[in-house]
Amino acid sequence: MGSDARLLLILGTRTFAEEVADWAGAIPQVRVAGFVENMDAARCRETLGGVPIHWIDDIGRFAGTHEAVCALSTTRRSRFIQQAEDLGITFATLIHPAANVSSQTQVGKGAIVGPGVVIGSHTHVGPHVVVNRGALIGHHTRIGRFCTVQPGANIAGACTIGEATYVGMGAVILDHVTVGSHAIVGAGAVVTRDVPDRVQVVGVPARIVKEDIEGK
């Protein structure tokens, strides 16, 4: 890889961070230069896959030379992202070569789009969204920032998914449905009607089982 490689920091040191590093390795001219920890400083004495782990307070020295993505599957990753931004770190948009994203679609900074994902035309994927492997997102849909769309989920066309909402593995959201912010759509749920903010829905058809939540 040449000297013009984009240097990437991955916020997170758990298993999903390792997977995102693998995805990044498939993108030409991207090199994973380090992982970042913000909870257990002792981990910074280790490496992950031969790559150093940096403590969050020490990464300001990489501002201007490195970009980052946040590889936490929880929608509550905004705090980690804010810590990095406060130190001057900018964020990359990471789209795996095996994803199919319409040229008419916008994908925000810090978003991660995994292999096998298909995103239709005229759709907006907000900043710091994670679209995990094999997920489908239809045309003219809006995905709010900090959302997580887990493997195999299918969000149809003309949907709106609010900020920091978690769409579980294999969930189906029918067309023209709005799901509120900080909500959880359980794995395998089929959402046939609008879902309010801060609730958890499960089942077929999906029904509310918990209220006043803060995402996952």
Which 8-state DSSP code applies to residue 72? -
pLDDT at res. 33: 97
**What pTM, to 2 d.p., does this model score?**
0.95
**Partner residues linked to 210 by β-bridges:** 200
In the chain the domains, ranked by start, together with CATH numbers, are: 6-92 (3.40.50.20), 95-211 (2.160.10.10)
Q: Which residues carry out catalysis? A: 139
Residues of the chain with pLDDT under 70: 1-3
Instruction: Taking the CA atoms of 9, 97, 188 and 196 in sequence, report the sign of the dihedral they define.
Output: positive
**DSSP per-residue codes, 125-177:** E-TT-EE-TT-EE-TT-EE-TT-EE-TT-EE-TT-EE-TT-EE-TT-EE-TT-
Per residue in 16-70, pLDDT (tens digit) is 999 999 999 999 999 999 999 999 999 999 999 999 999 999 999 999 999 999 9
